[in-house]
Copies of this chain bind each other. A is one copy, B any other.
Amino acid sequence: MPSELPALYPLGIVGAGQIARMTHQAAMKLGFTPRLFAERFDDSAAQAAPDAVFYHPDALAGFAEDCAVLTFEHERIDIGLLQAMEENGSLLRPGIETIRAAFDKMYQRRVLKNKGFNVPRFSEVRGPDDVLDFAASDGFPIVLKTVRAAKPGERGVWIVENRSEAMKVFSEQSDQQLMAEEFQAILKELVVLVVRRPGGQSRCYPITEISIQDGICTEIRTPADIGTRLASEAKDVATSIADELQAVGVLAVEFFLTTEGLVVNELAARPHNAGHFTLEACPTSQFENHVRAVLDLPLGPTWANAPAAVTLNVLGTLDGVDPARGLPEALAVEGAQVHLYGKLPRPRRKLGHVTAIGDDIGQARDLARRAEAALHGRRHI
């Protein structure tokens, strides 16, 4: 074990999942050894961190004192604690205003609405009767969701058709604060990744389009199949939100495309699952640009190196078989990029991803699907 430790780590990452793992690698490329605030010693990123600190709320302030800059890979942290830390001089990037908007979905909706961005109709709800009131204007179905981050492995979103379904959600989620939103017919789900430095310099990555199945993002396609006018509008909105929130680092802005146009769905103030394609398809990955931004270093280029990229999440299956067993077959798919996170297999857990680039989405998807199927011992046809 190290007999000496750095007096001050250049970067502390709160969280040690796959986002932290890839951010850690990007920091190491630039010569920085980040410190991690992990939950368990076998967390995906903790496997590469000699002196991770393990989770306890009381330990976070001490962790921050050892790090010049603190950044976050997940939203499961008390906002008040972070606010107190910032007031006490910790350098949080993003800062508390962005954190609050990303971590607290009610606050997020209020801020975005107040600033004139297009968001779904929403309301705080304390029980099924509030849901009925909310439904009075447009009727059911209604979307219920948790105001704070869902529990690990849960989605935290329910579409309810009537009062009794709403009551069921409330009784099962009695420990969580919920909010209601209008249900919208979604044509497409889009994600814009903006990366922004403290001084305001920002860049957008090519817009991605995601497919959701059972609440889990399964396929990410870049570029999104939308016109240049809509793409330009989405980038403008995302950049404006980042500016309004004074975001630092990657801000992922998720949009619904509806018949009415673009609606802001959610914000994530960190590198995002939809941006893994940037590792192979852009000169600077979202992870490296996040590190650059939070350390206030010049941003790297965010253009696409290839006409098309498709990323598939590798999810744990019900049978619990580790997709690592299919690695030899997956690596035999020429040109597919296989990433495994070193996580124990559990059903629906994100265990890795596969990216393929190609001349068009169809070609990239075919490669990615073959590799993903191989990991699961299936043959893609």
Chain B hits for A31, CB < 8 A: 324, 327, 339-342, 352
Nearest chain B CB to A167 CB, angstrom units: 43
Number of copies: 2
Chain B hits for A301, CB < 8 A: 334-335
The answer to whether the Cβ of A93 comes within 8 Å of any Cβ in the partner chain is: no
A298–B374 Cα distance when bound, in Å, is 13
The answer to whether the Cβ of A29 comes within 8 Å of any Cβ in the partner chain is: yes
The answer to whether the Cβ of A82 comes within 8 Å of any Cβ in the partner chain is: no
- Contacts A4-B41, A50-B48; is A28 near B283 (CB within 8 Å)? no
Please state if A41 and B338 are interface contacts (CB–CB under 8 Å). no
Chain B: which residue is nearest A306 at the CB level?
A: B305
- A 282-306 binary contact with B (CB < 8 Å = 1; else 0): 0100000000100001101100010
Please state if A297 and B50 are interface contacts (CB–CB under 8 Å). no
- A 310-345 binary contact with B (CB < 8 Å = 1; else 0): 000000000000001001100110110111111000
Please state if A41 and B292 are interface contacts (CB–CB under 8 Å). no
Please state if A48 and B33 are interface contacts (CB–CB under 8 Å). yes
Q: What is the interface size of chain A, counting residues whose CB is below 8 A from a CB of the partner?
A: 42
Please state if A30 and B334 are interface contacts (CB–CB under 8 Å). no
The answer to whether the Cβ of A196 comes within 8 Å of any Cβ in the partner chain is: no
Please state if B334 and A300 are interface contacts (CB–CB under 8 Å). yes
Please state if A47 and B50 are interface contacts (CB–CB under 8 Å). yes
Chain B hits for A52, CB < 8 A: 50
The answer to whether the Cβ of A269 comes within 8 Å of any Cβ in the partner chain is: no
Please state if A297 and B328 are interface contacts (CB–CB under 8 Å). yes
The answer to whether the Cβ of A24 comes within 8 Å of any Cβ in the partner chain is: yes
A25–B48 Cα distance when bound, in Å, is 9
Chain B hits for A292, CB < 8 A: 331
- Contact residues of A between 16 and 34, Cβ < 8 Å to B: 21, 24-25, 28-33
The answer to whether the Cβ of A152 comes within 8 Å of any Cβ in the partner chain is: no
Chain B hits for A29, CB < 8 A: 25, 338-340
Chain B hits for A327, CB < 8 A: 30-31, 297
Other 11 A-B pairs with CB < 8 A, given A28-B47, A48-B50, A49-B50: A2-B42, A4-B41, A21-B28, A29-B340, A30-B327, A31-B352, A32-B342, A33-B47, A48-B49, A283-B335, A283-B337
Residues of A within 8 A of B (CB): 1-4, 21, 24-25, 28-33, 41-42, 46-50, 52, 283, 292, 297-298, 300-301, 305, 324, 327-328, 331-332, 334-335, 337-342, 352
